[in-house]
Structure 1
Amino acid sequence: MDCLFCRIIAGEIPSDKVYEDEDLFAFRDIDPKAPTHILVIPKKHIQSVNEIDQNNVNLISKAYLVLKKLALEEGIAESGYRIVVNTNEDGGQSVGHLHFHLLGGRSLSWPPG
């Protein structure tokens, strides 16, 4: 298995897990860009946003519910947070597995860069 995130889900690579269910896995980013920086990933390998279709769109909705839940648990829901999904190389996607960044705990500037 070459996918870093698939290996994390499988337990081959350790992670600081904060959430897991039958469809999704969430863990703290090892190089955080904010005091709260959590990655939420589908357990089913989906390369990027470009592979979202009618067969997996419900998984994406579920991911947003989990992101909201984690924001509440982390205490950043009231002050505000950002959800980032990078797509492909020019979009800044560094791992070829769809993932959502939950960032918060500080003021986030715009544009992001």
Structure 2
Amino acid sequence: MSDCIFCNKEKLNIIYEDDIFYVIRDAYPVTKDHTLIILNNHNKSYFDLRHKDILQLYDVIKFQKETLMANDQSITGFNIGINQGKDAGQTVMHLHIHLIPRRKGDVDDPRGGVRGVISSKQKY
């Protein structure tokens, strides 16, 4: 799709690529080294992935996590997320997974983590 920013890979700074996924740093990072794992083929839904794609996605996420932690000793955790559908906040309709490095003290109270997508539900 010519109007999809993730399909126009020549404009992106790809740091890793295999036959199913490629990896870039997020252009609008939540934290330093916020990483995107992006499906090579234009597809907007995680739920359309094949079982073998999901297994490979696990390997890519784990490799990126290990690489980030080896290069930055301040990383103490991660958020992993997918915005699936417009009502879940997806703005680029091409499957991509957020791998967000977290560091002690990057927010006052990190409890609830991804529950913060609905801020009133984060604290329990």
* TM-score, normalisation: structure 2: 0.70
Shift of 1:100: 1.0
Q: 1:31 aligns with which of 25, 28, 32?
A: 28
Long gaps (5+) in structure 1:
none
Q: Which amino acid aligns with 1:63?
A: V
Q: Secondary structure at the match of 1:112?
A: helix
Instruction: Map Cα deviations across residues 1-48 of structure 1 (whole Å, 9 max, x no partner).
Output: 23210112xx1x2x3332223332111111111122111112122212
- Structure 2 residue aligned with 1:112: 116
* Correspondence 1:1-113 to 2 at 5 A: 1-8=2-9, 11=10, 13=11, 15-54=12-51, 56-75=53-72, 79-106=76-103, 107=106, 109=110, 110=113, 111-113=115-117
Q: Secondary structure at the match of 1:80?
A: strand
Q: Which amino acid aligns with 1:7?
A: N
Q: In the superposition, relative to structure 1, how do residues 99 and 74 fare at CA in structure 2: closer, same or farther (>3 Å)?
A: farther
- Structure with higher Rg: it is 2
Higher helix share: 2
Shift of 1:74: 4.0
In percent, how many aligned pairs have the same letter?
Answer: 27
Q: In the superposition, relative to structure 1, how do residues 5 and 76 fare at CA in structure 2: closer, same or farther (>3 Å)?
A: farther
Count of paired positions: 109
Q: In the superposition, relative to structure 1, how do residues 52 and 31 fare at CA in structure 2: closer, same or farther (>3 Å)?
A: same
Q: Tell whether the 8 Å contact from 2:6 to 2:94 is kept in structure 1 after alignment.
A: yes
Relative CO higher for 1 or 2, CA cutoff 8 Å, sep ≥ 6?
Answer: 1
Q: Which amino acid aligns with 2:55?
A: N
Q: Secondary structure at the match of 1:100?
A: strand
Shift of 1:60: 2.8
> C-alpha root-mean-square deviation of aligned residues, in Å?
2.5
- Whole-angstrom distance in 1 between the partners of 2:83 and 2:24: 17
- Whole-angstrom distance in 1 between the partners of 2:93 and 2:83: 10
Q: Tell whether the 8 Å contact from 1:18 to 1:26 is kept in structure 2 after alignment.
A: yes
Long gaps (5+) in structure 2:
118-124
